[in-house]
């Protein structure tokens, strides 16, 4: 077996609307409705399915709780523009910009938290 890529992941969230507003309004993802009125966030070739805490879909992670994820997103938007967007939306930057190791090489990242406290890393690949 050889895994090719990540298709989607699931976030358990306390408040669907607050999560959608953050990821769509700040990070520029798209809100998607699928199945029986389920919600997801689409970006690039991937998506994040959303489960509201207490109303999760089966099967699910054994300990699905809001705020337990650590996510890294890659953008081609320069980090100075990312920082300006975060500032405009009053999203505090926890750390960065700083250099890190990404899946395909060196990245420069900033870190913020989403409404549930998940750690969100926003990165540019370095040439």
> What is the CATH number for 31?
3.10.180.10
The pLDDT tens digits for 78-124 are 999 999 999 999 999 999 999 999 999 999 999 999 999 999 999 99
Residue 58, in any domain of the structure:
yes
pLDDT at 54: 87
Residue 39, in any domain of the structure:
yes
Q: What is the rounded CA–CA span in Å between residue 14 and residue 42?
A: 19
Residue 74, in any domain of the structure:
yes
| 69/62: higher pLDDT | 69
- Window from 9-13, 14-18, 60-64, 111-115 with minimum mean pLDDT: 60-64
Residue 78, in any domain of the structure:
yes
pLDDT at 127: 77
| Residues of the chain above pLDDT 70, percent | 100
What is the residue range of 118's domain?
A: 8-125
Residue 33, in any domain of the structure:
yes
Residue 106, in any domain of the structure:
yes
Residue 2, in any domain of the structure:
no
Tokens of 100: 């890190």
Residue 3, in any domain of the structure:
no
**Does residue 121 carry a catalytic annotation?**
yes
CA distances to 67, 86, 104 from 19, rounded to whole Å, are 11, 15, 28
- pLDDT at residue 56 above 90? no
Q: What is the rounded CA–CA span in Å between residue 122 and residue 74?
A: 6
CA 84-21-54 angle, to 5 degrees, is 135
pLDDT at 79: 97
The number of domains in the chain is: 1
């Amino acid at each position: 077996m050889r895994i090719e890529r990540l298709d989607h992941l699931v976030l358990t969230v306390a408040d669907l609307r607050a999560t959608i507003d953050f990821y769509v309004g700040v990070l520029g993802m798209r809100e998607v409705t699928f199945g029986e009125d389920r919600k997801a966030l689409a970006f690039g070739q991937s998506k994040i399915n959303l489960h509201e805490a207490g109303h999760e879909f089966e099967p699910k992670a054994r300990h699905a709780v809001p705020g337990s994820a650590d996510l890294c997103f890659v953008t081609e938007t320069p980090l100075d523009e990312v920082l300006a967007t975060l500032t405009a939306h009053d999203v505090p930057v926890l750390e960065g910009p700083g250099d890190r190791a990404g899946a395909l090489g060196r990245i420069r990242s900033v870190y913020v938290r989403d409404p549930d406290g998940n750690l969100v890393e926003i990165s540019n690949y370095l040439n």
